[in-house]
Structure 1
């Protein structure tokens, strides 16, 4: 036996023997799985979102509510990839999707070209309906890791082409640039190609809410990732045209639950990760709460259905934010409730023609923060040499510089601006959850899901 296979089988055996055989024998099989991923969620993000919701709304998050009420099985998960202790989202999702650790940047393709069949393909072959919803492009790493094989997560036009061939039942999120003939490199109208294959296609919230459920669904609602929730709430047009993650989840469940053989749905709060990269506390907390609202939709469905396993986790930490000691912590943290816009929204409004005084006015109006004159001047200096390259911060805007200034006003500090190697939270509710041991590798979830639903691990 190969060393890799020995350890892989050994870990999976740990899951199978984590509880007595008598308990395993009495375990109810899940017909459905809802797999929820708050992408890039450090433990501090989970904690602060709960505190934020308590102080703003008088109750905690639905996720932490499961812990308080002892309704969930809970574990820690090791998130490493084949190439690094610190994974990226492609390798992380592939660990769940293909059941094998692959190098960062790859989607279910090993370092030597090995191809591992993604889990939604396995569930679809078993007769279940399958789908993904996300707040970032639907061709992005986390949904793609459940769906396709690709040597590069960046090959999003090809990933979209694969979605058409694979014919999944629901795919919704951002990324119209990947489907539109005006922005695709090959000028192919992929929206029309999906319609020609008898998909229901929605490109705004109103169309999504009016969808017929007798066809597969493609919903793509923004050129890139969806707007941040904090910014959406200040814009009536965005509220009318861009669905929330909770609304997409509810729509997906309405479509997928029509199948008597069951379904598997992945739900991703992808912009939790993006806001963590940017050290954007207003964006981060509101994106985590938007994810928590989607979790509530999933939990309500599962409680009523009785046959659904709900899995709640993240793929890795990011930037490790936390509420730090010092004076005025409560006042500072509560100040975030008054934010009207994210740092991302404000920094993209600034131009090199602005003045320090104008920048000070902008932050005071949108966040209630009064920057010092030298701080406003330091922000403006970045706009004399903008760089349009990059992935998460294409214009090289001064996110980290601004976040360092905001610590005195919010009491929230950051350990960095990138993914971390933390062991992360994993929770389960529903049939099969009682088999979860207290510590797992990310790859273990692949076989766990198949076993929980009684689907053979073939291919």
Structure 2
């Protein structure tokens, strides 16, 4: 359907006839609804919880409901019937189990690509990323994330790359393409101290007119008249639970919600509108590590960003908000048992992520120190045998593989120990082939069908904004 033609010829005519009969209130309301449905989306905000299994969404809602009496903002939209909702098939070109680069590329480029590629087809063809299409159409464009801004999900909306691993090259392309606001981690790929070519990308961005910010305070102080590059960590930002329990991290590191608000403030007054991707990237990292505190608290951070986006969209009336995930990961969930309620509620007392716990140990750590650190972080005691098992990974050269586990730390072991106390189980430490949740709020949400293929979202976004797919 040509929405613009329908809007011009159908809805206005229908509204005109109802105005001739002012007593036909039901017809008037029907036609006003039709007008709303066919309204163009001036702005697009895509809020992604990377690696969010359905169980993660469920547990975050349970956690918030039981702690505060109010559930998640995401599920509240479901309860109030404010959104259109669907399931989405996220398979890549070469696997029913996608990775983040292929997933984001399916939305960004409109085609399925092999895992590991960024908008480059299996035959080597480049697909123009959607944020480039919107930039060429006159809109502002940006991304914010809790992992490196050069990581797979933001890259999939912005650039072409044969491999997601080329994060230095992706940083270069961001500069060439001139996106309006890019914030997250990734100092390793911008600093001359770490880059293989010794280029000082911060200086190059500043020369190109960017404000470069590296702390929460600098981000807040940045003006909204110039583009912004924000890099707040060497790799990913700290987990939300670790940030919340560190005065230094709280002062220096913005939340995902704060970055989202800053990005909206930077771009909201642009006459042609804006497009923004928001990613809770460390939900995926926590799932890979079977790290329940990292997972739930970063999912709640994603939920805060959802509220920022929805609050803006409700006032603005021209903004389509899309809320989703790119794939499942590790499929965690609360396991039945007589103490399931109390065990799950114990997570409310956790102070730190498993990453924080395990990075605090080494060869010289004693059994008592291991027990003390875990009890401080999780509010329960481990046995001597459990402490010895954990210590064996540091002293006996045992090795536990896993993505984002460069030190081969015993994440799986600690997760299994915690399960006895929090009743949360995991099926693996890897991505899964789940059909994922997809919700839409605002103009264009009426276009969503109950079940779609990942690549369909690319074309739906273009149609909602009435941007032609000609680039």
Q: Same fold by TM-score, threshold 0.5 exceeded?
A: yes
Contact 2:400 2:409 in 1 (8 A): no
1:46-91 per-position Cα deviation (integer Å, ceiling 9, x unaligned): 0000000011111000000001111111000001000100000000
Partner of 2:135: 124
Question: Aligned partners of 2:55 and 2:280: how far apart in 1?
Answer: 16
| Alpha-carbon offset, residue 28 of structure 1 | 0.9
Contact 1:97 1:146 in 2 (8 A): yes
* Poorly superposed stretches of 4+, deviation over 4 Å: 21-26, 386-391
Question: Aligned partners of 2:401 and 2:273: how far apart in 1?
Answer: 43
Q: Secondary structure in 2 aligned to 1:102?
A: coil
Contact 2:147 2:282 in 1 (8 A): yes
Pick from 150, 161, 175 the counterpart of residue 172 of structure 2. 161
Gaps of 5+ in 2: 12-32
Larger-gyration structure (1/2): 2
Partner of 1:149: 160
Question: Aligned partners of 1:66 and 1:304: how far apart in 2?
Answer: 16
TM-score, scaled relative to structure 1: 0.94
Partner of 2:125: 114
Question: Aligned partners of 2:392 and 2:350: how far apart in 1?
Answer: 24
Residue 84 (str. 1) matches residue 95 (str. 2): yes
Contact 1:386 1:395 in 2 (8 A): no
Q: Secondary structure in 1 aligned to 2:154?
A: helix
1:15-69 per-position Cα deviation (integer Å, ceiling 9, x unaligned): xx9xxx9788851111000001000000000000000001111100000000111
Pick from 437, 452, 456 the counterpart of residue 468 of structure 2. 456
Pick from 421, 435, 455 the counterpart of residue 423 of structure 1. 435
1:368-412 per-position Cα deviation (integer Å, ceiling 9, x unaligned): 121121111100000122779975100010001111111110000
Question: Aligned partners of 1:178 and 1:243: how far apart in 2?
Answer: 20
Contact 1:76 1:438 in 2 (8 A): yes
CA RMSD of superposed structures (Å): 1.7
The 1:324/1:416 distance shift into structure 2, 3 A limit, reads: same
Gaps of 5+ in 1: 1-11
1:262-306 per-position Cα deviation (integer Å, ceiling 9, x unaligned): 110000000000000000001100000000001100000000000
1:8-407 alignment runs, 5 A limit: 27-384=38-395, 385=397, 391-407=403-419
Q: Secondary structure in 2 aligned to 1:327?
A: coil
Question: Aligned partners of 1:252 and 1:333: how far apart in 2?
Answer: 35
Contact 1:32 1:262 in 2 (8 A): yes
Q: Secondary structure in 1 aligned to 2:164?
A: coil
Q: State the aligned residue count.
A: 442
Contact 1:387 1:394 in 2 (8 A): no
| Alpha-carbon offset, residue 358 of structure 1 | 1.6
| Alpha-carbon offset, residue 357 of structure 1 | 2.0
Residue 442 (str. 1) matches residue 454 (str. 2): yes
